[in-house]
């Protein structure tokens, strides 16, 4: 692949939103490396996607220790992409995040929210990505058996060690978030951002979490905004071969795709077409219409898919009638 020279106009078409009450702005669309960047995937394809994302103004790249497969390989591959293509001062134009909390290595210290696990995992992540620091380090999930003060204390330590600039939470409920934010505030390291699962089909965050984040000046970055691909045109005519739902090991199960869901997808797609959008573009813009949402976290298996998703930014406005029609379908 040729030497990479970033597009000179990369910041002209992207919208950047302030993250809570912090000094950080994030692109309205961020790229997650949960799928398609592991050791089983084609390295050069992932490299093309990352380059294209940056050329389109995406500055935020989101990882976790266990992304792959195999676990850790997405970080390794991303580190190699950084080394090959993002030398010099380009690192200072990027927001790179990683997480710890899910199972990563054998024994009692290889998962959850202990100080031992989080700080060891962060060191491993930095080594895999060949970085001195990450911009955001997350607690990937709440630990029911570890005091929240210990987990938040580990995040605080990561910042004080210079290994992370900011800290975040992921998968915490509204009540768990309140407790975590209080612990972080007492330590003097505020929470920058929360990463919950949120889409047209998954709306638990509306029952309190978004209000907690807003009142505490914390940003929000929904993951799985396309419901693992359900909110795209892939499933308009059933389950296609090669899709996530067709694979037994995937997060999206075939039994989740009921006739009722397919009917909703078809009706939502009709509204998207009226808006001049693909269903995926509408699903992303529907989230971004809420000012409490800082950025949406998308995946991509190709440059074409990435470009299609970025088309969501061309139309973020909704009429009252459109919103009422969408609510009628979703309920």
- Asked if 209 and 177 touch (Cβ cutoff 8 Å), the reply is yes
Q: What is the pLDDT of residue 205?
A: 98
Token reading at 80: 């190699």
- Delimit the domains of the chain by residue range: 16-238+279-318
Question: What's the CATH class of domain 16-238+279-318?
Answer: alpha beta
The fraction of the chain above a pLDDT of 70, given in percent, is 95
Residue 321's pLDDT is 97
* The pLDDT of residue 269: 97
Beta pairing, strands 25-27 & 60-62: unpaired
Residue 294 is encoded by which pair of tokens? 């800082």
Q: Report the candidate in 182, 181, 134, 194 with the shortest Cα–Cα distance to residue 159.
A: 134
**Hey, what are 78's tokens?**
């991303």
pLDDT at 240: 67
CA distances from 282 to 174, 289, 293 (A): 27, 10, 15
pLDDT of residue 255: 73
Is the pTM above the cut of 0.75? yes
| Token reading at 49 | 């996607």
User: Do residues 252 and 258 lie in contact, with contact meaning Cβ atoms separated by under 8 Å?
Assistant: no
DSSP label at residue 88: G
The dihedral sign for the CA sequence 124, 130, 131, 132: positive
pLDDT confidence of residue 258? 84
Q: Alpha carbon of 149 to those of 142, 180, 187: distances in Å? A: 11, 7, 9
User: With contact defined as beta carbons under 8 Å apart, do 31 and 303 qualify?
Assistant: no
Residue segments in the chain with a per-residue pLDDT below the cut of 70? 238, 240-254
pLDDT of residue 246: 57
């Amino acid at each position: 692949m040729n030497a990479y020279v970033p597009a000179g106009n990369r910041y002209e078409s992207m919208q950047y939103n302030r993250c809570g009450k912090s000094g950080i702005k994030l692109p309205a669309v961020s790229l997650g490396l949960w799928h398609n960047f592991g050791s089983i995937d084609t390295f050069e394809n992932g490299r093309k996607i990352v380059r294209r994302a940056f050329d389109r103004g995406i500055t935020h790249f989101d990882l976790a220790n266990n992304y792959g497969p195999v676990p850790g390989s997405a970080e390794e591959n991303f580190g190699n992409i950084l080394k090959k293509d993002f030398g010099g001062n380009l690192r200072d134009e990027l927001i790179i995040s990683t997480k710890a909390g899910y199972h990563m290595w054998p024994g009692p210290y290889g998962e959850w929210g202990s100080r031992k696990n989080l700080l060891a995992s962060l060191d491993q992540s930095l080594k895999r990505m060949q970085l001195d620091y990450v911009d955001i380090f997350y607690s990937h999930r709440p630990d029911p058996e570890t005091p929240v003060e210990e987990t938040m204390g580990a995040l605080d330590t990561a910042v004080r060690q210079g290994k992370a600039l900011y800290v975040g939470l992921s998968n915490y409920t509204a009540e768990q978030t309140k407790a975590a934010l209080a612990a972080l505030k007492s330590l003097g390291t505020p929470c920058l951002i929360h990463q919950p699962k949120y889409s047209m089909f998954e709306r638990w965050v509306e029952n309190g979490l978004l209000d907690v984040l807003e009142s505490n000046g914390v940003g929000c970055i929904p993951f799985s905004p396309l419901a693992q691909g359900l909110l795209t045109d892939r499933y308009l005519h059933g389950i296609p071969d090669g899709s996530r739902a067709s694979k037994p090991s995937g997060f999206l199960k075939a039994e989740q795709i009921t006739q009722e869901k397919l009917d909703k997808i078809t009706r939502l797609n009709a509204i998207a077409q009226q808006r001049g959008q693909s269903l995926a573009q509408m699903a992303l813009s529907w989230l971004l219409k809420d000012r409490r949402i800082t950025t949406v976290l998308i995946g991509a298996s190709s440059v074409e898919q990435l470009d299609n998703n970025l088309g969501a930014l061309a139309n973020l406005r909704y009429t009252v009638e459109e919103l009422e029609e969408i609510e009628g379908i979703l309920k």
